[in-house]
Structure 1
């Protein structure tokens, strides 16, 4: 089948939101070290473009190569080309159009060519947008990742179908199977444009099952639907509606855990503001990043709906040191969650929604909130309560039946870290980006609800911080990221799950 061509002239163009151009930044690189010689007329034009604004308008845009993709999908992404008034604006608009089309992930290549306009219309230009659609619309990947702090591992796989309907739609299915911990099956779709909405729209249906019997003596099952309403470079707004069930198969849960077993309706709006100016998200050596997440739960009018307000922030800064590609990364993160409604200070937050600290994932790569505290196991620090035997009437029998404790999480969490990364002396290691690092981390987790804030003082809050330090080796590959760290626990509480020694971690390469 011959490729289709789509034309529109300047009279058919529609005005574009100027704010869209602010979402992109561009770097112009020299692609050819030996460019062909330019004529005197061309050189004069180049100098004029550099020194002054040269008027120009687009007369016609020609779209080529889209045998399956609808013309409206491409036309919406190249709106910036229609309203340019100068050569400088046209060059920037061409970059914008190319980046937007590539972000759809349905084209193998995108080429935007600028040509002279009709001979009888001086000061005009024609633009040719040529795309090559993906030859294989089906992609997938699979990986095995270990979580030593939880003594488990997981098998993760995903399958993606691209542009099946011709509207730039991406359909994806994923499966994560973790032995004795977490199993999740999900399916979803993303559309670059839905009806008259300017931003992409996503929908995801998931079924999640988590076994926390080793940590908090309960199992959790959640089935829900998530809708992405707004998604731009700096802003994200999503809505989630799900049904969650907490059960205790062991019948050894502490009193605080048993009081929250049952069914819950989750309905919340989540807004995320993100700025990331770092030169890398895996090994940043320069720049800063900031993320703020606000979440309002319980907006669905149902008495079983979990009502809470959750606020998190995460601030990072990477400082290059000027030798051995060394850089100092520092970060601080915090979060607070509180119920809302009448008597909220006397109420409690649902167990699954609280903050839990610990884990062996590098805090340098986990941007979003207070999560990792190296050297402590997943959910490895309090508050906690002893597990007790349940009587015949569902009441506490009054004596401890196990040395295990239920870790209940907290309402206020704060973490901080400092990480010094550096290249190793051997060239073969530097070529593979294998590098070393030394780190120090600290974190606190306290309870505020059920009037616990009345007993919290500055001294008690200062004493609630746990600390660890260490050094290690990081081996990044295309399949996984491996860390071998020696962690030394500087401070822990009586019932914390922490260990001084060598720890391994395998995680996603991104």
Structure 2
């Protein structure tokens, strides 16, 4: 009854003239006044109570997005007695602690990793953020990053970020090499767009004595100076287990900016990812996902130049092509004769040795993948509590090499990308978690090629969040 009376009174006065005469801010011990005031610029121009309500909700949301306040309260007090129909806003804030420590785990490229981050908030009182992040992988990969972010650049929705990094990424298991990467990047983000410039030195090093000849050809230093644009659209209702919506991500990268040097990488790389979720009746749904990408060198003699293995596309594994091992699809080269240190260790161990990988997977310059699934809620109450669902799916894709083949060879290889593809069908269960979507699938690989690393039967994996 009280709520109905309030609504009736609000409906009566919501369109009457209103004037906001002032803004008072309390509790911002570190945060500068103008950081808060700029979020209320539109609020101060409100001319009716209904307009004020909508703009206050927007301003409150923008303050929360700054991630520097643990408490936000906005009150409307009566304005000066001499100004009828006026109000004064009182904003009461409680700032978050300047330091925050977090840790987590994730899976990328078939490698499990642990990360720890220390964050410093609002040190300059401008909603600025500084982070130090350390990642350690199960296959001896490591990354160290220091970054600084300034949101609301010039009062707009844009933000800028500067980042310095050093990483060592191991691909020994699948491709017998590692890459050491160090440099810096700058980012500009606004709306659905991000522009990134990166300058880094990369060292490719074979990690096994038996590394293939093709891996050996990539040995050495590489200088990367690139500009990358990312467009992202996402209206899905959840990043953990979406039930409706569309997501689209498109990345364009041009490398080779600056004065030409012997080690300067020159290429153009384009990648597109799409995800569509369509709800049906009775708890059913349809999920469609796909990706496509191409990378080609540019400059003099571009058609006979070879792209770096670190810039190519790899497919295989639960995150790209189910029913195959991680990075286990596409061009490969036989490892050389002999024994690696890992093989000697396995031979002296009493444990049953793992199946030896005899080829190095090289990735490709042109790829596509497609995924379609019928999903449903599971009837078991315990599985429902985990938000688990079943899926009946078909997965397909291919990746081919283009660079170094000449124009005619590139054209021929591109024509084969849709004629010589892999196909997997299967059924499985998925569980959404904060580190990614866990999948347990039973896969039936229908089409594969010689040297593909096929995984028939049960396959366990973790899909990255959002895709």
TM-score range, shorter chain: 0.7 to 0.9
Match of 1:473? 429
* Equivalent pairs, count: 445
Q: Distance in 2 between matches of 1:507 and 1:403?
A: 24
**Structure 1's 328 and 130: CA in aligned 2 closer, same or farther, altered over 3 A?**
same
Match of 2:312 among 335, 347, 354: 354
Post-superposition Cα deviations, 1:52-72, rounded to whole Å, max 9, x if no partner, equal xx5544321222221121212
| Corresponding residue to 1:376 among 317, 324, 330 | 324
- Deviation of 1:223 (Å): 0.7
Aligned to 1:142: 103
**Residue 311 in 1 paired to residue 279 in 2?**
no
Report what 1:385 is aligned to.
333
User: What is the DSSP-based 3-state SS (H/G/I as helix, E as strand, rest coil) of the residue aligned with 1:342?
Assistant: coil
**8 A contact 1:57–1:125 mirrored in 2:** yes
**In the alignment, which of 114, 118, 121 is matched to residue 83 of structure 2?**
121
1:272-283 mapped onto 2 (5 Å cutoff): 272-283=230-241
Q: CA deviation at 1:328?
A: 0.6
Equivalent in the alignment of 1:492: 448
1:217, 1:248 within 8 Å by CA — same for their partners in 2? yes
CA change 1:378–1:480 in 2 (3 A) is closer
Task: Provide the TM-score with structure 2 as the length reference.
Answer: 0.87
For the residues of structure 1 that align with 2:127 and 2:7, how far apart are their CA atoms? Answer: 42
Contact 1:145 1:507 in 2 (8 A): no
8 A contact 2:226–2:256 mirrored in 1: yes
**1 or 2, which has the higher helix percentage?**
2
Q: 2:371 & 2:279 partners in 1: Cα distance? A: 17
8 A contact 1:488–1:500 mirrored in 2: yes
> Is 1:59 aligned to residue 17 of structure 2?
no
1:119-170 CA deviation, whole Å, 9 max, x = no partner? Answer: 3334544333222211x433333234567x84x5322222222223322122
2:360 counterpart residue number: 406
How far apart, in 2, do the equivalents of 1:477 and 1:43 lie?
Answer: 43
Q: Is the 8 A contact 1:284 1:329 kept in 2?
A: no
Q: For the Cα contact (< 8 Å) 1:445–1:464, is it kept in 2?
A: no
More displaced, 160-169 or 258-267? 160-169
- Which residue in 2 is equivalent to 1:418? 372
Kindly state the Cα deviation for residue 481 of structure 1 after the two structures are TM-superposed: 4.5
> Could you say what secondary structure the match of 1:72 adopts?
helix
User: For 1:81 and 1:56, how far apart are their aligned partners in 2?
Assistant: 11
Q: Which residue of 1 aligns with 2:199?
A: 241
Residue 466 of structure 1: CA displacement?
Answer: 0.9
CA RMSD of aligned residues (A): 2.7
Cα distance in 1 for residues equivalent to 2:357 and 2:386: 46
User: CA shift at 1:449, angstroms?
Assistant: 1.8
Alignment correspondent of 1:199: 158
- Deviation string, structure 1 residues 85-137 (Cα, Å, up to 9, x no partner): 55454333222211111111111122233445333334544333222211x43
Q: What is the aligned partner in structure 1 of residue 402 from structure 2?
A: 448
Q: Evaluate the alpha carbon distance shift between residue 41 and residue 174 of structure 1 in structure 2; reply closer, same or farther with a 3 A threshold.
A: closer
**1:39 Cα shift?**
8.6
Name the residue aligned to 2:347: none
- C-alpha contact 2:389 2:431 (8 A) present in aligned 1: yes
Q: Could you tell me whether the CA contact under 8 Å between 1:276 and 1:290 is conserved in 2?
A: yes
**Could you give the per-residue CA deviations for residues 244-263 of structure 1, whole angstroms, max 9, x where no partner exists?**
00112434333333222111
Q: Secondary structure at the match of 1:214?
A: helix
C-alpha distance in structure 2 between counterparts of 1:270 and 1:349, whole Å: 17
- SS in structure 2 of the partner of residue 63 of structure 1: strand
Kindly tell me: are residues 35 and 403 of structure 1, through their superposed partners in 2, closer, same or farther at Cα, counting changes over 3 Å? closer
> In structure 1, how many angstroms separate the alpha carbons of the residues matched to 2:435 and 2:276?
27
Shift of residue 175 of structure 1? 1.9
Return the alpha-carbon distance in structure 2 between the equivalents of residues 220 and 251 of structure 1: 16
The corresponding residue for 1:428 is 382
CA–CA separation in structure 1 for the residues paired with 2:304 and 2:107: 40
Task: For residue 495 of structure 1, report the CA deviation from its aligned partner.
Answer: 0.5
Aligned to 1:301: 259
Q: Which runs of 5+ in 2 are unaligned?
A: 339-355
Offset at 1:359?
A: 2.3
Seen in structure 2, the aligned counterparts of structure 1 residues 160 and 359 have a Cα distance that, compared at 3 Å, is farther
**Aligned counterparts of 1:56 and 1:154: Cα–Cα separation in 2:** 56
Gaps of 5+ in 1: 1-32, 362-371, 391-401
1:504 aligns with 2:460: yes
Return the TM-score normalized by structure 1: 0.80
Contact 2:251 2:272 in 1 (8 A): yes
What is the match of residue 393 of structure 1? none
How many angstroms does 1:335 deviate by? Answer: 1.0
Does the 8 Å contact 1:181/1:212 carry over to 2? no
Q: Distance in 1 between matches of 2:225 and 2:129?
A: 25
What's 1:76 paired with? 38
Structure 1 segment 9-48 matched on structure 2, within 5 A: 35=3, 37-38=5-6, 42-46=10-14
Q: Take 1:118 and 1:127, find their aligned partners in 2: how far apart are those partners? A: 12
Q: Structure 1 pair 478/416, CA: closer, same or farther in 2 (3 Å)?
A: closer
Task: Tell me the distance in 1 between the aligned counterparts of 2:147 and 2:433.
Answer: 28
Other structure's SS at 1:328 match: strand
Distance 2:287 2:2 in 1: 39
